[in-house]
Amino acid sequence: MTSPYPLLSILGIVIGALSIAASLIYVERRLLALWQDRYGPNRTGYFGLLQVVADAIKIFMKEDWVAPFADKPVFILAPAVIFVTVLMSFAVLPVAPGIIVSDLNVGLLFFLAMSSLGVYSVVLAGWSSDNKYALLGGMRAAAQMLSYEVFMGLSLMGVVVLAGSFSLPAIVEAQRKMWFVIPQFPGFVLFLIAGLAETRRIPFDLSEAESELVAGYHSEYSGMKFGMFFVGEYMGITLISGMISVLFFGGWLGPVFPGVVWFFIKTFVFISLFILLRAALPRPRFDQLMSWGWKVMLPLALVNVLLAGAAVLLWR
Amino acid sequence: MFSILRTIWYVFLHAFQKRITVQYPEQKPYLAPRYRGRIVLSRDPDGGERCVACNLCAVACPVGCIALQATEDENGRRYPDFFRINFSRCIFCGYCEEACPTYAIQLTPDFEMGEFHRKNLVYEKKDLLIDGPGKYPGYNFWRVAGVQIGGKNKGEAAHESPPVDVRSLLP
C-alpha cells in the first residue's frame, strides 16, 4: 500500500514534520506555562503565535561558533545526524491510508534502528566538543540509550505478536476491532517510558542536565547547530507520539473525521503528555535511571512478551 | 509509583487555576504608597522648595548617586543650586528619604523610568522637583524651624516662644 503520489506524500510528511517540530517550540512554552499558572509567550502576533518566527530569526542570526579545540568535522556532523535519523524514521510513519513515504515490511524494525542511530549524534557531539561536561553528557546519553533501547524494542514485540506483522500500516489495520493499548497496556507504558528516554526529555534528560552539566552534550554548540539539536529533539517527540498513536491507539482509525485528523489528534495528545511529564516530574539520579532500566523495565518487558506470546498461542 | 501519577495529575489540574501573571503594560500592579520608586523633590504647602541643601542625602546614599550644591536666596533660605540624581546608579534603598530632615526628598510609587540613552537617566533639579508636598501635606520646614530667615524672625516659628532676653532679670 504505497502512496499514489509518492513525491507529494514525501513532501507533505517532511514539511509537516518540520513545521510541527517548529511549532512545538511555541506549543511547549504555552503548555508549560499553562501548568505553571502563567501565560507563556503571548506578545508576538495573535496569542504569541509569531514567537516561532522570532525564535527562528534569532537563532539564524546568532554567531555560528566552533570552538578552536573542537574536532571540527565531527562537531559539524553531529547535529546533522540526529536530524537525518529522525527524519528517516518519519519515512515509515503511516499518517493515513496511502500517506506514507515507504511501506516497509520491516517498518517497525527500521524505526527502532534509526532511533538507535540517533544516539551517535549525542555521543559524537559530546566527544568532539572536547569539554568535560559535554563528554559526560554524551557518555550518559550512550549508557541511557543502550539500556532503554533494549526494552523499547521488547515492549513492542507484544504488538507485533498481536498484529502478526512488522509493517506499520498492517499494525494499524489490525487494530480495527480493538486498540492494542487494551491487551498491551504494559507494553504501552514501557514504550512510553522508553520513548521518553529515547527523546531525552525532562525526566530522562540526564545527558543535558543543566543543573549538573551546564548543557550536557550541546554545551559548546551555538546558533543553528544548537537549533538542529533542538529541532531534532522536537521531531523526536513528534515521532514517538506518532508511533504511540500508531502502535497502541489505532493510528488513523476513528469515526466521523478523516484518518489524518484522527492521527493528528492522537499525536497531539501524546505530545501534550510529554510536555506534561516535563512540567511534573523531576530528573532521577543517574544510577537510579540505570537500575530502573535494567532491573525493573527489562524484566517487565520480557514478562510482557512472554504473556503476549502465550495468550496468542492459546486463543488462536 | 503512585506518587508520580498523583504528581502528574496535580500538575495537570493547574491548567484550570487562575493565572498569577500580571499582564504588565495593560494591567498595572498595585504599588503601596510607600513603594520605593522614582525619587522626587517636594515643595512646601506655600510652594517653596523644601530642600535646604544640607547634603545629608548625598552622604547617606550608599552608591553616591546624589550630587548637589548649596546656595542661599535673598531671604537667607538655603536651597540647592543644582540637584542631580544619577538613576543609573540609584538602588532605590530610600536612605536619602530617611536622612532628609525636611521631608524634601521622597521616593514615589513609580518605576517606569526606562531610557534608551544612559545619560538620560541623570535627572536634574527641574526633573526632580514636583509641585506638591508629596507624602507630608501640611509640613513646612521653615515654619517650624528656629532658623531666622527673611520675613520670619527668631521666635516667630510655630510652637516657638519669643527668645529669652538674657539681659533682663525678670522671669
Q: What is the mean pLDDT of residues A8-20?
A: 83
Angle of the A223-248 helix axis to the A51-61 helix axis, nearest 10 = 140
Query: How would residue B105 be classed by pLDDT, with cut points 50, 70 and 90?
Result: very high
Cell numbers for B118, please give them. Answer: 544612559
- B32-57 pLDDT, tens per residue? 989 999 999 999 888 888 999 999 99
Q: Which three cell numbers stand for residue A100?
A: 506514507
Which structural domain, as residue segments, surrounds residue B97? Answer: 30-140
Q: What mean pLDDT is predicted for residues A161-188?
A: 83
Tell if the CB–CB gap between B21 and A38 is shorter than 8 Å.
yes
In a domain, B25, yes or no: no
Q: Between A35, A38, A39, which is nearest B11 by CB?
A: A35
Q: How confident is the model at residue B15 (pLDDT cuts 50, 70, 90)?
A: confident
Residue B87 domain-assigned (yes or no): yes
State chain A's mean pLDDT as an integer: 85
pLDDT at position A288 over 60: yes
pTM of structure: 0.77
For residue A221, CA distances in Å to A24, A64, A130, A202 come to 21, 8, 12, 20
Contact in structure between A176 and A165 (CB atoms under 8 Å): no
Between positions 61 and 90 of B, the ones with CB within 8 A of A are: none
| Alpha-carbon span A197 to A191, nearest angstrom | 10
Task: Indicate whether B152 belongs to any domain.
Answer: no
User: How many CB atoms within 10 Å of residue B16?
Assistant: 7
**Pick from A287, A269, A94, A284: nearest CA to A174:** A94
Query: Which residue shows C-alpha cell 530522562?
Result: A204
Chain B residues with beta carbon closer than 8 angstroms to that of A277: 8
pLDDT (tens digit per residue) in B68-102: 999 998 888 889 999 999 999 999 999 999 999 99
Percent of chain B at pLDDT > 70 equals 100
Cell of A205: 534528560
Instruction: Please report the pLDDT score of residue A1 as a whole number.
Output: 47
Q: What is the pLDDT of residues A107-153, one digit of tens each?
A: 888 888 888 888 888 888 888 888 888 888 888 888 888 888 888 88
d(CA A94, CA A245): 10
Is B21 close to A276, i.e. CB distance below 8 A?
no
Take residue B34 and report the three cell numbers written for it.
Answer: 510607600
How large is the average pLDDT for residues A177-200?
85
Express each pLDDT in A29-52 by its tens digit: 888 888 888 888 888 878 888 888
**What residue type is assigned to position B33 of the chain?**
P
pLDDT at res. B156: 82
Cβ–Cβ of B8/A276 closer than 8 Å?
yes
Residue A229 in this model has a pLDDT that exceeds 80: yes
- Of chain A, the percentage scoring pLDDT greater than 90 comes to 1
Looking at chain A, how many residues does it have?
Answer: 316
Residues of A with CB under 8 A from a CB of B: 34-39, 276-277, 279-281
| pLDDT value for B69 | 92
pLDDT of A6 above 80: no
Q: What stretches of B14-128 show up as alpha helix (H) in DSSP?
A: 56-60, 95-99, 125-128
Nearest to A248 by CA among A153, A164, A172, A166: A172
pLDDT on residue A44: 83
Q: Are A300 and A190 in contact (CB under 8 A)?
A: yes
Contacts (Cβ under 8 Å, ≥6 apart) of A62: A222, A223, A224
With CA atoms as reference, report the closest residue to A160 among A301, A308, A307, A300: A308
Lowest mean pLDDT among A24-33, A205-214, A279-288, A296-305: A205-214
Phi, psi dihedrals of residue A66, rounded to the nearest 5°? -110, 125
Q: Is the pLDDT of residue B4 over 60?
A: yes
Task: Identify the three-state secondary structure at position A19.
Answer: helix
> Domain residue spans in chain A?
6-315
Q: Which of A276-290, B118-132, B150-164 has the lowest mean pLDDT?
A: B150-164
Residue B70 sits in a domain of what CATH number? 3.30.70.3270
Query: Is B6 part of any domain?
Result: no
Domain-located, residue B122:
yes
Using a 10 angstrom Cβ sphere, with 0-12 exposed, 13-18 middle and 19 or more buried, the burial of residue A67 is: middle
Asked if residue B132 is part of any domain, the answer here is: yes
Examine residue B19 and state whether it is found in any structural domain, yes or no.
no
Residue A4 has what pLDDT?
64
Mean pLDDT rounded to a whole number for chain B: 88
Which pLDDT value is given to residue A2? Answer: 54
Residue B63 pLDDT > 80: yes
Task: Name residues whose C-beta falls within 8 Å of residue B85's C-beta, 6 or more positions apart in sequence.
Answer: B39, B65, B66, B67, B122, B123, B128
Residue A259 near residue A223, CB atoms below 8 Å:
no
- Closest partner residue to A37 among B4, B7, B14, by Cβ? B14
B7 touches chain A (CB under 8 A): yes
* Chain A CB contacts of B20 below 8 Å: 37-38
Q: Is the pLDDT of residue A3 over 70?
A: no
Pairing relation of β-strands B66-72 and B78-86?
antiparallel
**CA dist., res. A215 & res. A210, Å (int):** 5
B157 falls within a domain: no
